[in-house]
Chains A and B, each alone.
Chain A
């Protein structure tokens, strides 16, 4: 152990109570930071997982048509004309969806693509009606781009696959209409009314989906909507979902169809989660700020109380930088203990919070607090505490180092 560290440790143990305040704040600051970040990230990740499992990582939809503007280069009568791209026009839907799917599957990051035909409709059941959205899908393709299989809560997907008149319906819509597996309903779309039977009930936890989305087999949807060709959009699954924005730009350029990443689609929610994460980080950083102030106060007290010790050390040949180090070591020891205990508290707290029952539906469905444990939360918490505590310690440490031993011994030190 270096002489400076040894002295720092003894000084520290002499002010245990005062240091305990700083230590407690560091522990609380680091622990709460880790817990709040783990929960906000947990809910964000869970939301992303839900939304990716339902709406996919990317959607390729309307066809792009560039519009051109031209002008005569040499006056009104000139035959030379200069053309420039003015903007983009979108033609609704996809005319040749299979060609687009074939092209999409050549992108390295694309793991699946499902053609979807979508239209608003009315669901009738006895005297009750509900506005719904019907989605014509090829089941096997759609299972490759969604978590539909794991979202089935009642009935069997096999029944849907084998029954042309079978439908998949959300649990919330079922509850509203009082429906169950095997019940028949009427769907009214584009002036046609057809009867369908409920093959399975799904639940995503997203209210907007569970109360409005009804899945039909593609053949039946084309017949009902009188659209023998084309598609509303193609739902795409990606291997690396974080690359969706870059892939969307690339796909849009190559395929000349509008491509939207999940990050673009869910921007408002993602922004809300980010704001929540920053807000909780700011709130919990108050504890580390207090820890810094407590450390400043405690070290300042130690400087005053140990003035004579500083003079002794200086008279024995300890340099100014040694004195600075002795005080910074004290802060570092408290910081090391505080962040270690705080990180352990954060980990234990995160585990405990993840066990708290908390049924949530609306934007996703969960029964417990969602947490996400990331080493970066711990790194950020420790860095924040280190900056505040060490920053606050520099002032008393430098003050101690500036003291003139002659003045102290004479008793005139201020």
Chain B
């Protein structure tokens, strides 16, 4: 029971089809999963097994064909787009493989963007928090650089800081080190996990990298749309 109460994210019997007509594929075939506060969970498996699709469903970026997703005990999968968007803003931080920074903005602006939308802090508090986050990922000297003026590893560090901006309960990372060299991969993973653990956040990451997966608290292998 203690374990169950610690689960911040839970999904049961998720189904998802992708494509149309003859190309329609049953990607997720009744997946159930839960993520706990302060724990880092890796989802691994071959390409096309449904890892990323599951991650986007858990992040409320997509709607399941069937099944339920609850965040902090609140059923979210059946809510409308506005409610799911609000939940993303308040409870979920994303880190994507290709950094996905907004390149016309500075590192500071990128980190402040989720805070500006949430609107919980004053502009001065947002600025201070963004500075603190960028400093914690080692970019305290590069806060005013545009996305285009940062290296791949630096961009991903900004993405990590941005994911943590609103102090979300859940961090979802889709191959966060997939586009980085070994050294940078280790740096990003350490940053993500240490910062998340400090704040008691649940981290779910999809990875192909066995070294990264082995360093997580739990590993959930997937095959053909199901956990094995």
Residues on A lying within 8 angstroms of B by beta carbon are 3, 6-7, 10-11, 13-14, 308-309, 311-320, 322, 404-407, 409-410, 412
Contact = CB atoms under 8 A, between A and B. Distances in A.
B5 to A, nearest CB: 26
B117 A318 contact: yes
Given A309-B102, A315-B59, A322-B117, A409 B174 contact: yes
Nearest to A309: B102
Interface string B91-103: 0101010001110
B114 A409 contact: no
Interface in B58-112: 59, 61-62, 81-82, 85-86, 88-90, 92, 94, 96, 100-102, 104-105, 109
Contact of B89 (A6, A317, A409): A317
B85 A312 contact: no
Nearest to B165: A316
Contacts of B166: 317
A412 B56 CA distance: 13
Given A317-B117, A410-B52, A13 B104 contact: yes
A10 B116 CA distance: 15
B116 A3 contact: yes
Contacts of B88: 314-317
Contacts of A317: 85-86, 88-90, 114, 117-118, 166
A3 B102 CA distance: 13
A10 B117 contact: no
A322 B104 CA distance: 18
B180 interface: no
B100 A308 contact: yes
B219 interface: no
B104 A10 contact: yes
Given A312-B102, A315-B61, A315-B88, A409 B117 contact: no
Nearest to A318: B117
Contacts, number: 74
B56 A319 contact: no
B113 interface: yes
B104 A314 contact: no
Given A14-B104, A405-B61, A406-B62, A316 B53 contact: no
Interface of B: 18, 52-53, 56-57, 59, 61-62, 81-82, 85-86, 88-90, 92, 94, 96, 100-102, 104-105, 109, 113-114, 116-118, 162, 166, 174
Nearest to A2: B116
Contacts of A406: 56-57, 61-62
Contacts of A7: 102, 113
Q: Which 7 A-B pairs have the closest CB atoms?
A: A317-B89, A406-B62, A3-B116, A406-B61, A316-B114, A406-B56, A10-B104
B85 A318 contact: yes
Contact of A409 (B56, B90, B102, B162): B56
20 contacts: A3-B113, A6-B109, A7-B102, A11-B104, A14-B104, A311-B100, A312-B100, A312-B102, A315-B92, A315-B94, A316-B88, A316-B113, A317-B85, A317-B114, A317-B166, A319-B82, A319-B86, A320-B82, A406-B56, A410-B56
B66 to A, nearest CB: 16
A6 B112 CA distance: 12
Given A14-B104, A312-B102, A314-B85, A409 B61 contact: yes
Nearest to A321: B82
A314 B81 CA distance: 10
A209 B162 CA distance: 81
Contacts of A312: 100-102
Given A406-B56, A409-B56, A319 B100 contact: no
A6 B116 CA distance: 11
Contacts of B118: 317
A302 to B, nearest CB: 11
Nearest to B117: A317
Nearest to B100: A312
B134 to A, nearest CB: 17
A7 B105 CA distance: 9
A409 B85 contact: no
Given A3-B116, A314-B85, A409-B52, 6 more contacts: A308-B100, A314-B61, A315-B88, A319-B81, A319-B85, A320-B81
Contacts of A14: 104
A309 B103 CA distance: 9
B219 to A, nearest CB: 23
Nearest to B101: A312
Contacts of B162: 316
A410 B86 CA distance: 21
A404 B61 CA distance: 7
A11 B18 CA distance: 32
Contacts of B174: 409
Nearest to B86: A317
B167 to A, nearest CB: 13
B106 to A, nearest CB: 10
B117 A316 contact: yes
Of the listed residues A312, A314, A407, A412, the one surrounded by the most CB atoms of chain B closer than 10 A to its CB is A312
